[in-house]
Structure 1
Amino acid sequence: MDSIGIQDYVQRLSTFTQFLSPAQTGIQQREMFIPTELLNCSHVFIRIDAVRKPLQQPYEGPLVELRKVLQG
Structure 2
Amino acid sequence: MTPMEISRKGYEVLVNTLGVADTIRFLQQFNLGLGDYTTERHQWLDEVSLEELLNDIKQLREEKSITQSEVNELQ
Do Structure 1 and Structure 2 share a fold, with TM-score over 0.5?
Answer: no
Larger fraction in helix:
2
Which structure has more relative contact order (CA 8 Å, sep 6+)? It is: 1
- The structure whose Rg is larger is 1
TM bucket normalised to smaller:
under 0.3
Q: TM-score, normalised to structure 2's length?
A: 0.27
Q: TM-score, normalised to structure 1's length?
A: 0.28
